[in-house]
Chain A
Amino acid sequence: MNLPTKLALLFLLGLLSACGGDDPTLAEGVFGPLGTARPNATEAERTVFARGEAVALRRFTPEDGLGPNFNVTFCGGCHEKPVFGGSAGRYRNFLLVRQTLSDGSSVDLGESGVLPQFNLETGRRPTDEGATDFALRNPIPFFGVGLLAELSEEVILANADPNDDDGDGISGRPNIDRGFIGRFGRKAQTVTIEGFIRGPLANHLGITSNPLPEALRAQLPVPSPVFERGGIGGAVIGRRFMQAAAPDAAITDDDGIPDPELSDQDLFDLVSWSMLLAAPERAEPTEATERGEALFETLECTACHVPALDGPRGFVPALSDLLLHDMGPELADGFAFGEASGSEFRTQPLWGVGAVGPYLHDGRADTLAEAIRWHGGEAAASRARFDALSDAERGDVLAFLRSLGGEAQHTDGLVPPDADLEAIPPSRALSADEAARYLEGRALFDQDTFGSEGLGPRFNGDSCRACHFEPIVGGAGPGGVDVIRHDMVDGDAFVAPDFGTIAHRFEMAPVRPRFDARANLVERRQTPSLLGLGLLEAIPEAAILAGEDPLDADEDGIAGVAHRLPDGRLGRFGWKADVPSLHEFVRDALGAELGVTVPPEDGQSFGAASDDDGVPDPEFDVDQIESMRFFLATLGAPGGAPDVAGETLFADTGCADCHRTLEGPDGPVRAFTDLLLHDVQGDAFVGVPSANAGGRLFRTAPLWGIAGTAPYWHDGRASTLEDAIAAHEGTASAARQAFEALSAEARERLLNFLSAL
């Protein structure tokens, strides 16, 4: 950076420090708790903020235009932590994909360079042929972006020193797009918030949008700044950002839903919500944070993480110069974006950094200290100085960083840090010891698992909660966290890949995990709800087996069979009822979904005993497993006031022949499942088998709490309950036809009954 600017900022740093953050030159009315509207928002803006948040949380369905390829079904899925608007754990990472050609150029593959995980028709979007380069990205937080959008280009350019003329080893140059300085994205590749939203809508959700009309754009809470003609250093005519930078694909796709799939008004609300998100509010300084702040300057971290930039409302302490810096081979991903080379990254704003890990562009760093130690290139000297500090001094630096907003909202998962027992209610009153066990299990279930703790090498989620959070932690999961299974089928024969049928979504490295190229069968598996599983586990085997009628001996058209596992145990959990107990369920999920190894236990056969991630096995111990089991076994079951008339219709149509109430030790368990396997698929369906459950057989899905767990069916094919009923075939055909024969009023009554479960 150039010297005058540096001196000015050092002065400001001192000023801010001396005044404890109350300096009047700071922007006012814009700082607040993460996820809230900035305090100076007008009532009208708060209304727009609420509407925009609703758009961010809307679960898009194929009928809305989701797909054909997608990573996630709602914006908030990747911007959830610690509250909506933030970032997410590694389970929301995504891959960039390119092909480098003989002339040295690299062509974006995937969807405008993003490689989505899912395809509505084929289950898994394949990796493009010819792909040579991959890079990982972790979602980026939005807190305070409206203030960054307001900054003038001159203010950003003031810190640029592309040729390091001042010889301090720090250069810094802007990225540029359409003649304007980029300021959003890991490589500052995007100029406007509108563009930063429209691109991911298309790339990650398959939701198309048009650029905002000028009339709406003019009403945004942060109007597009007027720049001199030429944008950078020009001097003739004022002009605004004229385009919302976004991939061309943002405008149209080929999913059969008319484009644009997001209305101009919804886009306006979404962009406005982002712009109105409060900037992280710095905590009151302590002696430790003040020492850390001074050290932060001494280490010359402030050469890039400048204390503040001068915005139209006052100084904006994002701790970023918004410029590109060469971070060396330590962080290089090889992906050029605009002017940014493969080793250059935008200085990441640090406000709120204590609340939004993991860190760095690909989420490789579990902790702030680790993130600092990954710094290379221009930042190598600062990193070395950090390493040379004493433990106490490093602690002060980290305390300072954590004080930059949002620390009080930090959570190791998604459960708020101050959440009590009832935040995720248990099924019964618990003793003090049980409550402690429940909370311990909940924390293990909810918290992100780090690589150093054994995550990976391949995984679908970095926690159990990563997939089980609809409508509350422990619940089901939306389409964006589906498990992908694959298999080779030849007539009636199935051959599983050597490594199992799961095709994981992630590795710790920037590669797409293994997928058996011979597979001709791919199946998405929705995340089922775990609420009330303790009650299902308690149901005596005899009660389940009493419903068996594998050969339809009673000639009612329904053949149900219990899933006897190869070792003779009765399966009752999972889409295929292929897991016999909650303890095994925990062991299985840790291995299959998180890549976490577990110790051998007598009588237990599920779970992975070892892996090759470099972390000593087992990575979880029996006590941890037992805490998680206890949490699941005690997790409250959904319940609602019974609608007798609706339930009568449910029985009369034959739905209750499979979706039945079983007797548990403490009374009837109104989960509406017989825990048996049935063939309810269409004639053409071929599915991936599991243990002794053939590909066409699925366990009767429990219906309690079903209103909050869309989409439906094992592969998410149904967006609504009515769609789900309409999809019933095979032994459920008669029940479906009976439903279809009902009057409209009766159908609605039955659907209301289901919704109220």
Chain B
Amino acid sequence: MVETMRVLSFFCLLSLAACGGDGDWSPAFDADARGWILSVWGPDGGDALFAVGGQPGAGAMTRFDGSDWNPVDVGGAPLLNWVHGLNESDYVVVGDGGFIARGNGTTLTPFSNVPTAEQLWGAWMNAADDIWAVGGAGVDTSEAVVLHFDGRAWTKETLPALERPNVFAFFKVWASGPDDVIVVGQRGVILRYDGSEWREFGAGTSDDLISLWGTGPDRVVAVGGRGNGVMATWNGTEWRSVRLSPLAALNGVWTRNGRDVHVAGIQGTLAVVDFDSFVFRESFTDATLDFHAIFGRSSGLTAVGGNLAAGTSAPIFNGLAWERSLSSTE
């Protein structure tokens, strides 16, 4: 951890009002009855946005066509945890029970022979024949898995023995290309694939790293924490991390310029964090549920989530979807 940031964080703690906030977030649509919304993604330059989620045992997908958010038939898919793609007619979704499907804009086609039944939390499409998926249930009876699709079949990656103990889940995967794939997960684990082998990194945190994004091989940011927000950054040479409290735990991250890092987290947390200084400004909304993901493109930012804190036995699964515009400098 970067000790000096604790001082900065504390300064912010005492004078948070001075840190300001954006304040132009607003509900994207009435997501209350849509189940959890765990991920949102869409190709830049188009209107389409895809949001996935649902509830345990019953996945759901919603598509934004530029004006309305409409449900998409997902067949009998389980809870869907993540979506990422190349364009609006070629994307991949992953979910519980080792579920992976390819979407073409209207339908989902599940893959067969996926070599895991673990919950899959993250996916990344480098190309139609270079797709990654990661997961694991996070308990000692489960296995943290990294899967790869080479255009023909999904295979489970062979990973090095980890120094970090008790890693039973990888949560997200991001890549700048086929030779630069980064996976983050439980207890602060970080893995990087350079095209030939996987290598473990540490960022000085043992908090769960839940999501990551980047703008290139030397500009990657991961966020996480279960109580307090944590951010870890990669500058091409080393990882470092900082706890961002009083910012609460973070689940989602996205950045376009590599400087302004947009994050989303529990209890309606939305903020922008400076990549280099870690100084953040929080946006205050009346959202109180947990954001799980945030995604941006030129037309704006979208953050999604739900009543995730209620646990999987909750009788009602509420969704959450907020949006705001994005300035050209952000």
Contacts and interface: CB of A to CB of B under 8 A. Distances in A.
Interface string A404-417: 00000000000000
Contacts of A248: 138, 226
Contact of B17 (A179, A235, A242): A235
Contact of A179 (B6, B21, B269): B269
Contacts of A179: 228, 245-248, 267, 269
A176 B269 CA distance: 15
B164 A107 contact: yes
Contact of A105 (B166, B202, B312): B202
Interface string A248-259: 110110100001
B165 A178 contact: no
A103 B248 CA distance: 23
Contacts of B227: 177-178, 245, 338
A230 B267 CA distance: 10
Nearest to B284: A236
Of the four ranges (under 10, 10 to 19, 20 to 34, 35 or more), the interface on chain B belongs to 35 or more
Interface stretch (B31-39, B147-155, B174-182, B203-211): B203-211
Interface in A647-661: none
Interface string B280-302: 00101110111000000000000
A190 to B, nearest CB: 9
Chain A: interface secondary structure? loop
A338 B249 CA distance: 11
Nearest to B188: A105
A474 interface: no
Given A233-B15, A242-B266, A103 B165 contact: no
A216 interface: no
B32 to A, nearest CB: 14
Interface in B222-241: 226-228, 239
Contacts of A108: 187, 206
Contacts of B204: 103-105
A40 interface: no
Contacts of A174: 13
A230 B16 contact: yes
Interface string A158-187: 001011000000000110111110000000
Interface in B50-82: none
Contacts of A249: 139
A320 B26 CA distance: 41
A387 interface: no
Contacts of A163: 7
B329 interface: no
Interface string B166-195: 100000000000000000000110000000
18 contacts: A105-B205, A130-B165, A157-B14, A176-B228, A178-B266, A179-B245, A180-B246, A213-B310, A233-B13, A234-B17, A234-B282, A236-B286, A242-B266, A242-B267, A242-B309, A248-B138, A259-B313, A339-B243
Contact of B165 (A107, A213, A230, A254): A107
B83 to A, nearest CB: 24
B311 interface: yes
Contacts of B312: 251
A248 B204 CA distance: 21
Nearest to A341: B6
Contacts of B14: 157, 160, 162, 232-233
Interface of B: 1, 6-7, 10, 13-17, 21, 138-141, 163-166, 187-188, 201-206, 226-228, 239, 243, 245-249, 266-269, 282, 284-286, 288-290, 309-313
A211 B309 contact: yes
A434 interface: no
A239 interface: yes
B243 A230 contact: no
A73 to B, nearest CB: 23
Contacts of A211: 309-311
A338 B228 contact: yes
A235 B283 CA distance: 11
A109 interface: yes
A624 interface: no
Interface string A120-163: 00000000111000000000000000000000000001001011
Nearest to A131: B165
A274 B85 CA distance: 51
A243 B313 CA distance: 15
Contact of A101 (B139, B140, B164): B164
A99 interface: yes
Contacts of B249: 178
A343 to B, nearest CB: 14
A164 to B, nearest CB: 13
Of the four ranges (under 10, 10 to 19, 20 to 34, 35 or more), the interface on chain A belongs to 35 or more
B194 to A, nearest CB: 19
A400 to B, nearest CB: 33
A241 to B, nearest CB: 9
B202 A103 contact: yes
A485 B204 CA distance: 39
A107 B166 contact: yes
B141 A176 contact: no
Contacts of A243: 266-267, 309
A245 B17 CA distance: 25
Contacts of A101: 163-164, 202, 206
Contact of B311 (A130, A210, A235, A339): A210
A231 B246 contact: yes
A752 to B, nearest CB: 39
Contact of A229 (B6, B165, B286): B286
Contact of A233 (B16, B188, B226, B247): B16
A231 B14 CA distance: 11
A600 interface: no
A17 interface: no
Contacts of A664: none
Contacts of B6: 339
A237 B284 contact: yes
B165 A128 contact: yes
B246 A176 contact: yes
B284 A339 contact: no
Contact of A176 (B13, B268, B284, B290): B13
Nearest to B141: A254
Contact of A173 (B10, B269, B284): B10
A106 interface: yes
B10 A162 contact: yes
A108 B227 CA distance: 15
B311 to A, nearest CB: 5
A102 interface: yes
A237 B16 contact: no
Given A99-B165, A107-B164, A230-B16, A338 B139 contact: no
A285 interface: no
A177 B227 CA distance: 5
- Most interface-central of B7, B16, B267 (chain A CB within 10 A): B267
A211 B202 CA distance: 32
A114 to B, nearest CB: 14
Contacts of A160: 14
Contacts of B205: 105
A260 interface: yes
Contacts of A106: 206
B209 to A, nearest CB: 11
A109 B165 contact: yes
Contacts of B282: 230, 234
A237 B17 contact: no
Contacts of B16: 230, 232-234
A235 B23 CA distance: 12
Contacts of B21: 236
A235 B17 CA distance: 7
A104 B2 CA distance: 11
Interface string A90-103: 00000000010111
